Structure 1
Amino acid sequence: MPVEHEDALPGFDEAPVKKQPPSEEPHYLGHRARLKARFLEGGPESLADYELLEVVLFRTIPRSDVKPLAKHLIATFGSFADVLAAPYERLVEIKGIKDATATDFKIVEAAARRFAKGAVTKRRALSSWSSVIDYCRTAMAFDDRERFRILFLDKKNGLIADEVQQTGTIDHTPVYPREVVRRALELRASALILVHNHPSGDPTPSRADIEMTRTIVDIAKPLGIEVHDHVIVGREGHASFRALKLI
């Protein structure tokens, strides 16, 4: 006669206990750890655009494989910088991008612009021309509307102010040369660097760009204000009026 356990129900044999297999960690956790290690050891240059984007996505999407999403974002917008600069409204239209992630992208974008601006503010503008170009590209190259900004400089080419004067459409920004010079006089600036962007990506100056720049030069020069350069930035690079001998 079989012996029953004290806690067994009458009429039922005790079912054998099955051992559960040990839980396996999701495959993406190891990938995340390896990617973070590469970033810390080799810096951002060791990662492709989509991989750097993955690292940003880790913050707001902690429990998912984000590699496909990162690649989709790059394919949709064009590059890491293009993704960060994309309008908030377009970002949240992408499947998998919620408010928190879109906001995170805009925070990273703002941090990059603030960092680049700091590099220009703390140095002599013309003795660190590469910093000026880097800042202008970071601040404007990926905008979807034309913006016209001015860097106002003192006699030693130190930055007095950096101001966006006008914001226009995708292919036009109204610029008023006399207003540009009036503002320079208010700030007691000795020189200017004019900057605007071409959302099309091609930084080649248009005829209107050239005529507007020459008008500003003609008004400013008799007042002792020099226009050092007019820089046009776009996704494909930048164009310097000084280098092109347009001023």
Structure 2
Amino acid sequence: MDDPIGKESKTGGRRASEPASKPHYLGHRARLRRRLLEQGPGTLLDHELLEMLLFAANPRGDTKPLAKQLLGRFGSLERALSATPAELAKVKGLGEAGAAVLTVVPEAARRLAREQAQDRPVVASWQKLLDYCRVTLAHERVECFHVLFLDRKNKLIADERQQRGTVDHTPVYPREVVKRALELNASAIILVHNHPSGDPTPSQADIAMTQAVVEAAAKLEIRVHDHVVIGREGHASFKSLGLL
């Protein structure tokens, strides 16, 4: 006769009424969450941060192997989070949900940095402005030229991308920059662009273009506070370098 339900079989198998054992990674997830909330995100390693992000896309699976795979493929947390959707689509096991989670992180960081930069006049929160510029431009694959438009109190009115160029050149038209400043009733501007090579050292073309914008803006009493070049290795300020 068959064993009654709930009794252990003759082969020593699990009782039918006995619950299946929980996957080993569930305890790991709980410990990560607890550490994050009690000790702060700074205590998490790079792969653990990726694991936490991927929890949202895969609430029941083990995300640790995938997190380590992402770091191995892209080389760093920075590059994994700045990868394009097309690049992420090539990662086996990530899927659309995982790619969407990783893609939205840089945009969230940009918006947070932007709001922090807008809180106070630029002159009083220069570091926040630099943080915003780095988050926005440091990982671009081609040169992008932005203009930050400021009001009379030096508060940020708008940040607009004027041009998107190639890996080593962006065409800039001083008249268009000044025209837009007038449309926004801006009293001052800050020029910002990136060097995809990583080295923020201004080129001779950067210097000549900046001088042309300064001269065009001065005719309409619009001040150019600075031109900041962003690279993965840091930033360069024309004003600090004595070029402005």
TM-score scaled by length of structure 2: 0.89
Give, in angstroms, the shift of residue 68 of structure 1: 2.7
Residue identity in the other structure for 1:234: G
AA aligned to 2:14 is Q
**1:20 is matched with which residue?**
14
Length, aligned pairs only: 236
Rounded Cα–Cα distance in structure 2 between residues aligned with 1:117 and 1:222: 30
Tell me whether 1:112 sits opposite 2:144 in the alignment: no
The structural deviation recorded for 1:82 is 2.4
Partner of 2:206: 209
Q: 2:191 is paired with a residue of what secondary structure?
A: strand
Does structure 1 residue 159 correspond to structure 2 residue 156? Answer: yes
Shift of 1:81: 3.2
State the SS of the aligned residue for 1:166. strand
Structure number, greater radius of gyration = 1
> 4+ residue stretches of structure 1 with deviation over 4 A?
none
Structure 1 residue 142 and structure 2 residue 139: aligned? yes
Q: TM-score, normalised by structure 1?
A: 0.88
1:59 aligns with 2:56: yes
**Aligned residue identity for 1:156:** K
Which of 59, 71, 79 lines up with 2:68 in the alignment?
A: 71
Change (3 A) 1:244 1:72: farther
Partner of 2:166: 169
The one-letter code matched in structure 2 to 1:171 is D
The alpha carbon displacement at 1:17 in A equals 6.8
- Over the matched positions of the two proteins, sequence identity in percent amounts to 56
Deviation at 1:25, TM superposition (A): 2.2
Q: Distance in 2 between matches of 1:214 and 1:77?
A: 39
Task: State which of 212, 221, 233 in structure 2 corresponds to 1:236.
Answer: 233
The letter of the residue matching 2:93 is G
Cα shift readout 1:128-162 (whole Å, capped 9, x = no counterpart): 00110111111111122221111101121011211
CA distance in 2, matches of 1:234, 1:78: 18
1:220 aligns with 2:217: yes
Unpaired runs of at least 5, structure 1: 9-14
AA in 2 matched with 1:20: R
Question: Secondary structure at the residue paired with 1:60?
Answer: coil
Equivalent of residue 34 in structure 2, options 34, 37, 43: 37
Look up the equivalent residue of 2:105 and give its one-letter code.
V
Structure 2 gap ranges (5+)? 4-8
- Looking at structure 2, the residues matched to 59 and 112 of structure 1 have their Cα atoms a distance apart, in angstroms, of 18
Please say if 1:84 is aligned against 2:85.
no
